[in-house]
């Protein structure tokens, strides 16, 4: 199975900061990488699919990049509503063997 | 607007079978571009994919749970269901149902709609 890792596991940042979260796959997954945001007590919300495509309705301050094994999620200017946990998820395997990263918690400095 | 809603017992005894149903409203479960899946999250931990089903009945399961999981679909009721047998305390989690959109031309997929989740506790 493809294993996903994320770094850092948590970070503290201030409103207006630029934040970058990294996700790494144990083998190449091309661009089959999605990013989700989860707030406490809520279901995850899709932010980015296929590594760099912004889901409809998601603010443009969120962006994704990468291919192969290394990916990044960037928040260009952190807003109060962005404090949450972020998960990457690979959709490369055939047949589907979907795996999520362990998550990165973004909290207020 | 598509909505998914999980339902089922919130408390299950060890060694018994956990059963949950996801009701889909605002869209058809029989649409060709979508799989329907279950994901769980133990308290304070990360997300774990359990399995997915197509409206035709084709299923894919997480290998680590495959021996205990059955996912089925009832297109007449616009529902799909999860059964997890021989549960232990380690199966205590919030269980989410979700729609997986499969973009065939791009050979990619993602979970774009989620239910609110339901907490299932395994305890005697």
Per-residue model confidence as pLDDT tens digits over A44-91: 999 999 999 999 999 999 999 999 999 999 999 999 999 999 999 998
Q: Is B62 on the interface with A (CB under 8 A)?
A: yes
Residues 6+ apart with CB under 8 A from A56: none
Q: Is the pLDDT of residue A20 over 80?
A: yes
Is residue B55 within 8 Å of residue B75, measured between CB atoms?
yes
Positive or negative torsion for Cα B113, A20, A89, A87: negative
pLDDT category, A24, cuts 50, 70, 90? Answer: very high
Q: Is B16 on the interface with A (CB under 8 A)?
A: no
What pLDDT, in 10s, does the model give residues B30-72? 998 899 999 999 999 999 999 999 999 999 999 999 999 999 9
- Spatial separation of the C-alpha atoms in residues B8 and B62, rounded to whole Å: 21
Q: Which residue has the tokens 């990013």?
A: A35
Helix (H, G, I), strand (E, B), or coil: what is residue B117?
A: coil
Contact B106 A50 (CB under 8 A): yes
Mean pLDDT, range B82-108, rounded to an integer:
93
Structure tokens at A89: 């998820």
> Exposure of B20 by Cβ count < 10 A (0-12 exposed, 13-18 middle, 19+ buried)?
buried
Q: Is B104 on the interface with A (CB under 8 A)?
A: no
- Spatial separation of the C-alpha atoms in residues B2 and B39, rounded to whole Å: 18
Structure tokens at A27: 């083998």
Q: What is the pLDDT of residue B70?
A: 98
Mutate one of B1, B33, B47 to test the A interface: name it (highest A CB count within 10 A): B47
Mean per-residue pLDDT over chain B, rounded: 96
Burial B95-106 (b: 16+ CB within 10 A, else e): bbbbbbbbeeee
**CA of A94, closest CA in chain B: separation in Å?**
10
Other C-beta atoms lying within 10 Å of the C-beta of residue A76 = 14
Q: Is B43 on the interface with A (CB under 8 A)?
A: no
């Amino acid at each position: 199975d493809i294993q996903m890792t994320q770094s850092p596991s948590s970070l503290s940042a201030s409103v207006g900061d630029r934040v970058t979260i990294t996700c790494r796959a144990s083998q190449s997954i091309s661009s089959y990488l999605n990013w989700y945001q989860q707030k406490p007590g809520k279901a995850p919300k899709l932010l980015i699919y296929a590594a760099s495509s912004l889901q409809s309705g998601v603010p443009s301050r969120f962006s994704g990049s990468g291919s192969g094994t290394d990916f990044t999620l960037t928040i260009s200017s952190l807003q109060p509503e962005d404090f949450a946990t972020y998960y990457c998820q690979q959709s490369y395997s055939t047949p589907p063997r979907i795996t999520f990263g362990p998550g990165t918690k973004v909290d207020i400095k | 607007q598509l909505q998914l809603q999980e339902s089922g017992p919130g408390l299950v005894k060890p060694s018994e079978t956990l059963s949950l149903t996801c009701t889909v409203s605002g869209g058809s479960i029989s649409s060709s571009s979508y799989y329907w899946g279950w994901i769980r999250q133990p308290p304070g931990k990360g997300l774990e994919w359990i399995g997915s089903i197509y409206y035709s009945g084709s299923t894919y399961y997480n290998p680590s749970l495959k021996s205990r999981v059955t996912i089925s679909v009832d297109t007449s009721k616009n529902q799909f269901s999860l059964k997890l047998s021989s549960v232990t305390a380690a199966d205590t989690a919030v269980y989410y149902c979700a729609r997986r959109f499969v973009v065939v031309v791009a050979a990619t997929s993602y979970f774009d709609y989620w239910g609110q989740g339901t907490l299932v506790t395994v305890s005697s």
